Amino acid sequence: MARTDTVDVAPGSLADPGVTRVRTVRTVGRGITRLAGIVPFTVYISLGLLIPMIAIAVGAFKNPNTGAFTFSNVDIATHGVYLTGIRQSVILSVLASVIPGIFGALIAYAIFTAKRASLLRQVVITASGVFANFGGVPLAFLFIASFGSSALVTGWLNDIGLNIYNDGFSLYTLSGVALVYMYFQVPLMVLVILPALEGLRPAWREAAENLGARTWQYWRYVGGPVLMPSFLGCVLLLFGSALSAYATAEALTAGTIPLTSIQIASFLNGNVIAGQENVGKALGLGMVIIIAIVMVFYVLLQRRAAKWLR
C-alpha cells in the first residue's frame, strides 16, 4: 500500500516533531504485522535448519572432553587425510557439475523447442523429477551391473575391442564416481535450467533472424549471453549438490577414496580417534562455508539473469 499521507507542517512549528514521531511508530508497527505472515515458516526453518547448523558451528570449536574453545578440530580438518578429502571432493564436484551442466542444458534445449503438449517433453520432465532424487546403493548397483569390471556394457565394449579397464578406467575412481553422479545431476540441471530457457522470448530469435542472423549467430550474440548467468548459476547449484552427495559415493567406494562427505559420516558411525570426535563438525562447517560462498555467487548470477529475462 503506498503511503499517500503527507502533512505539510511549517518547519520549526511545534506540531512538527510530534507528527513525525507518530508516523514512524505507526509505520514500524505496520511493517511488523506484515511480517507476521511468514512467522510459521521462519520458525520452522530456524528449528529444522538454523539451529542444527549453529550446533555444528559451535561444536566445531569445542574440545570434546573439556568443552573448552579450541581450534584443534579445525586444524585437523584442514590437514592430512582430511585436506586430501576436501581436495578430492572439490575435484569430483567440478567434474560432476560442469559436464552434467552442459549435457543437461542441451537436453533441456532439445525438449524445450518441442511443442508444449508433446509427449516427449512431458516424459523427459517427469523422468527428470524422478531421477534427480535417485541415488545411493541402488544407483551404485545399477552402474556396477553395467560398467563394473565384469558387467554388461564392459563386456560389450570388450567384444568390439575396447577394453576400458585396461585403459585405466574404473568405476571406483573419481571419474567413475563422477560418471555415476551424472545420473542425478543431469536431471537436476534439466529441471533448474528450463525456467531460464522459457525466459528466452521467441521475439528475440525472430528479430535476430529477420536482421539476417543465422542460428549460430543468434546464440553467439543474443541467446548465449542472455542465458550465461542462469547457466553458470545452475552449474554452481550442481556443484553444491555434488559436494553434499554422500550415499552414492559411499556405496561405490566404501571409503577407498577420501571424500569429505564420507569422512563426516564416519564420525557419526563412531569410527573416530579419541579426542577427535568434533572434527567431523569442523569438516561439516567447512563444507557449509564452501557451499555458502558458492551460493552467494549463485544468487548474484540469478539476479543478473532476472534483469534480462524478465
Partner 1 sequence: MAPISALAVGRRKHGAGGGESAGRRRTSFPVWRWVILLIAGVYFLLPLYAALRFAGIHAFGTVFVQPGFWPALWLSARLAIITTAITLALMVPTAVYVHLRLPGLRRLLEGITILPIVIPPVVLIVGVLQVSPGALKASPWLLGLEYVILGMPFAYRAIDAGLRSLDLKTLTEASSSLGAGWLTTLWRVLLPNLRTALLSATVLIVALVFGEFTMASLDLFVTFPVWIVLFDQLNANMSVAASIFALVVVWLLLMLIVVVGTRQARRTGGGQVNLFTAARTDTKGN
Partner 2 sequence: MATNAADAATNDSGVAGIAGAAPARAARAGTSVSLRNLTRVFGKTRALDGMSLEIAPGELVALLGPSGCGKTTALRIVAGFETADHGEVLIEGKDVSPVPAAKRDMGMVFQSYSLFPNMNALDNVGFGLRMRRASGTRRRQRAGELLEMVGLSAQAKQFPHQLSGGQQQRVALARALAIEPRVLLLDEPLSALDAKVRLQLREQIRNLQQRLGTTTLFVTHDQEEALSMADRVGVMKNGKLEQIAAPSELYAKPATAFVAEFVGTMNRLPGDLNGGGTVTVLGTAVPVQDGAPESGPVDVLVRPEGLTLAPAPNGNGIVSNRTFLGASTRVTVLISGDTEIQVDVASTAAAAMVPGTAVQVALPPTPVLVAPRNT
Ranges within 83-142 binding partner 1 (CB under 8 A):
103, 106-107, 109-111, 113-114, 116-117, 120, 122-127, 129-131, 133-138, 141-142
Does position 289 interact with partner 1 (CB under 8 A)? The reply is no
State which of residues 210, 268, 269, 273 lies at the interface with partner 2 (CB under 8 A).
Answer: 210
Please, which residue, 20 or 27, has the CB nearer to partner 1? 27
Tell which positions 223-252 bind partner 2, by CB under 8 A: 225-226
Quickly list H helices, 132-223.
136-147, 152-159, 174-198, 202-210, 215-218
Q: Least CB distance from residue 138 to partner 1, whole Å?
A: 3
Place of cell 548474484: 300
157 part of the interface to partner 1, by CB under 8 A: no
Q: What is the DSSP string of 248-260?
A: HHHHHHTTSS--H
For residues 187 and 135, give the distance between their C-alpha atoms in angstroms, rounded to a whole number.
12
Give which of partner 1, partner 2, none residue 204 binds (C-beta under 5 to 8 Å, depending on kind): partner 2
- Residue of 302, 182, 179 whose CA lies nearest to 236: 302
Contact between 136 and 262 (Cβ < 8 Å):
no
Separation of alpha carbons 260 and 199, rounded Å: 37
d(CA 20, CA 238): 50
Near partner 1 by CB under 8 A, which window of 68-76, 164-172, 202-210, 220-228? 202-210
* Position 206 contacts partner 2 (CB under 8 A): yes
Between 72 and 217, whose beta carbon lies closer to partner 2? 217
- 67: phi > 0 → left, psi -120 to 50 → alpha, else beta; which? left
How many residues contact partner 2, by CB under 8 A?
21
Q: Are 186 and 130 in contact (CB under 8 A)?
A: no
Closest separation in Å from C-beta 229 to partner 2: 10
For partner 2, the binding residues (CB under 8 A) are: 201, 203-204, 206-214, 217, 221-222, 225-226, 307-310
